Amino acid sequence: MLTPIRRFADFRGRSDRSEFWLFMLGVVIAEAILATIDQALGFGRLDRSWQTFNWGMAGMADWNGGFLSAIFWLAMLIPLLSVSVRRLHDANHSGAWLLLFFVPVIGWLVLLIFYTQASWPVVNRWGPPRTL
């Protein structure tokens, strides 16, 4: 689960499904804990009602996140990008496919399919498969 943090700026090579999904699970759990702490300390708001959403300046005027959550996401940005690119490499896709993130719904579904694909069983242009 911590391997992507140790390899935080390594966009070369491969990361198998277990490394990718365990890291994602760890990020979600840490975010939930930090969001709870944010709420307890009064840094964020629980109001997620669509009636109170105000697009405002740059669409974020009514962002309800907290300080700790924001710092965590900034700290995890590069490790999330690098493990995502390495996961695409492991499934024998170019890291450029990560740009599909900016295509709502369809792009996200394609990336989800790529992230769940089995590892390429032989050496590809990003290296050999991970051995246990």
pLDDT at 58: 42
Residues 6+ apart with CB under 8 A from 84: 20, 98, 115
Structural domain boundaries enclosing 101: 3-116
Residues 6+ apart with CB under 8 A from 94: 88
Indicate whether 101 belongs to any domain: yes
Indicate whether 126 belongs to any domain: no
Determine the Cα angle at 88 with ends 99 and 9, to 5°: 80
Indicate whether 128 belongs to any domain: no
Q: Residue 9 corresponds to which tokens in the numbers above?
A: 């700026």
Q: Spell out, as residue ranges, where the chain has pLDDT lower than 70.
A: 44-65, 131-132
Q: Residue 125 corresponds to which tokens in the numbers above?
A: 């242009």
Q: Between the CA of residue 70 and those of 10, 27, 34, 41, 99, what are the distances in Å? A: 23, 13, 9, 14, 22
pLDDT at 67: 85
pLDDT at 27: 93
pLDDT at 45: 61
pTM of the model: 0.78
Instruction: Report the domain count for the chain.
Output: 1
Indicate whether 124 belongs to any domain: no
